[in-house]
Chains A and B, each alone.
Chain A
Amino acid sequence: TQLLEQSPQFLSIQEGENLTVYCNSSSVFSSLQWYRQEPGEGPVLLVTVVTGGEVKKLKRLTFQFGDARKDSSLHITAAQPGDTGLYLCAGASSGYSTLTFGKGTMLLVSP
């Protein structure tokens, strides 16, 4: 059974601070995705990383896939209240039609 562990589970910070959330596994994934979910809504895909060591940037968000494709990180620079939400990582494996989801990191950014 593949597992993805996310840390921290909960993060409360002030506007303007930087933060990093982690997604770790003992399994290798063919790709890894990050989603953000706002309260009462469905998750929205932010990014997909495919190659070991890959770094992708989305405005103030930086995503990195580990060299061994077993882990990933999300770094947010100068967090804003609009970044508040549940961040979920999910791993895909070749030949499987399902994703392995982590349990999420709940981020609260206060003004």
Chain B
Amino acid sequence: SQTIHQWPATLVQPVGSPLSLECTVEGTSNPNLYWYRQAAGRGLQLLFYSVGIGQISSEVPQNLSASRPQDRQFILSSKKLLLSDSGFYLCAWSVHSSYNEQFFGPGTRLTVL
């Protein structure tokens, strides 16, 4: 069966500090991978997605970046965090299909102070 991991689970960082959030998927190969951000109790904002190694599409211009160094690894980074980067970050994967059913990780709660 497939599993998706995210870490850390929670993170408190000062403004201007760097960020690295990691997501890994097990039990599948060549998945689509996604990073979302969610404000409290609201919908999902797609940040980045990747259909293959080294292929990254950005949906929202901002100070965040994403990388996919391995098939089942997706990393979200920032060189300098802003207060507005606080939120709940979710990683998800899907198989390449027209249904595009997505399976989410447990999320990372980021607080920028």
**Given contact pairs A48-B99, A48-B101, A92-B99, A98 touches B34 in the complex (Cβ within 8 A):** yes
Q: Is the CB of A50 within 8 A of B99?
A: yes
Partner of A92, one of B34, B51, B100, B103: B100
> Which residues of chain A come closer than 8 Å to B59, judged between CB atoms?
98
Residues of chain B at the chain A interface (Cβ within 8 Å) = 32, 34, 41-44, 46, 49, 51, 59, 90, 92, 94, 96, 98-107, 109
A-B contact pairs, 11 of them (CB 8 A): A31-B98, A33-B102, A42-B92, A42-B106, A45-B101, A86-B41, A90-B102, A92-B100, A95-B98, A98-B100, A104-B41
B81 CB to nearest chain A CB (Å): 21
Q: Is the CB of A99 within 8 A of B43?
A: no
Q: Is the CB of A104 within 8 A of B42?
A: yes
Q: Is the CB of B102 within 8 A of A99?
A: yes
> Which residues of chain A come closer than 8 Å to B34, judged between CB atoms?
98
Q: Is the CB of B46 within 8 A of A98?
A: yes
Partner of A44, one of B51, B100, B104: B104
Q: Is the CB of A31 within 8 A of B99?
A: yes
**Bound Cα distance from A22 to B99, whole angstroms:** 20
Chain A, residue nearest B100 (CB): A92
> Which residues of chain B come closer than 8 Å to A41, judged between CB atoms?
106-107
> Which residues of chain B come closer than 8 Å to A30, judged between CB atoms?
98-99
> Which residues of chain B come closer than 8 Å to A35, judged between CB atoms?
104
**Bound Cα distance from A40 to B101, whole angstroms:** 21
